[in-house]
Amino acid sequence: MRWYWIDRFIEFESGKRARSVKNVSLAEEHLHDHFPGFPVMPGSLMIEGMAQTGGILLGEHFGFRYNVILAKVPKVVFHSWACPGDQLIYSAELLDAREEGGSVSVEATVGDRSVASAEIVFAHLKTDDPQFSRIDQKNFVFRMNLLDILTVGKAGSGAAGEVSGADGRRGEAVE
């Protein structure tokens, strides 16, 4: 299993905001233990998905010159569950972006239902720093290969429905 806790970006407005989708599936093995007979998406993995959404938003803002690592979650509130069959939407807004790091606020929703909200702080590591070249990739919110798989679509206005990705099909998923 790869450490990808978002499936796709559906909106991406460089330096401002990004929205991604996480489809919760009963095929995810951890849901069978969390909890037996009551499968719900673990809150920690929702934080990871929110951090990946916000971390890529921050990383892209600096042209991916830095490794963006999750440094701190000053605030997170869970309002309800996300169960198999639910489509989580993570909406991230870039609050701060500077040389040392940045911060985002992220809302997680399923349809009209609010599931979680968080503030996340990231630190930047230089990509050529030999001291950190062997850091376990699980610690990284952003990796180039993650971006390749997600094929980020960019919308000029960020408005839903105007998004088109590199293959021209991504926009169809936007409602």
Q: Is 96 in the site for another protein (CB under 8 A)?
A: yes
Q: How far is the CB of 127 from another protein (least distance, A)?
A: 19
Supply the minimum distance, in Å, between the C-beta of residue 121 and another protein.
Answer: 5
The window from 8-16, 54-62, 93-101, 158-166 that contacts another protein (CB under 8 A) reads 93-101
Return the active site residues. Answer: 34
DSSP H or E segment with residue 84: none
Q: Is 134 one of the binding residues for another protein (CB under 8 A)? A: no
Could you tell me the end-to-end alpha-carbon distance of the chain, in angstroms, rounded to an integer? Answer: 29
Among 98, 131, 144, 167, binds another protein (CB under 8 A): 98
- Quick check: helix, strand or coil at residue 21? strand
- Dihedral of CA atoms 95, 101, 107, 110 in degrees, nearest 10, equals 140
Preceding peptide of 35 cis, ω within 30°: yes
Residues that bind another protein (CB under 8 A): 71-72, 74-75, 95-96, 98-101, 103, 121, 123
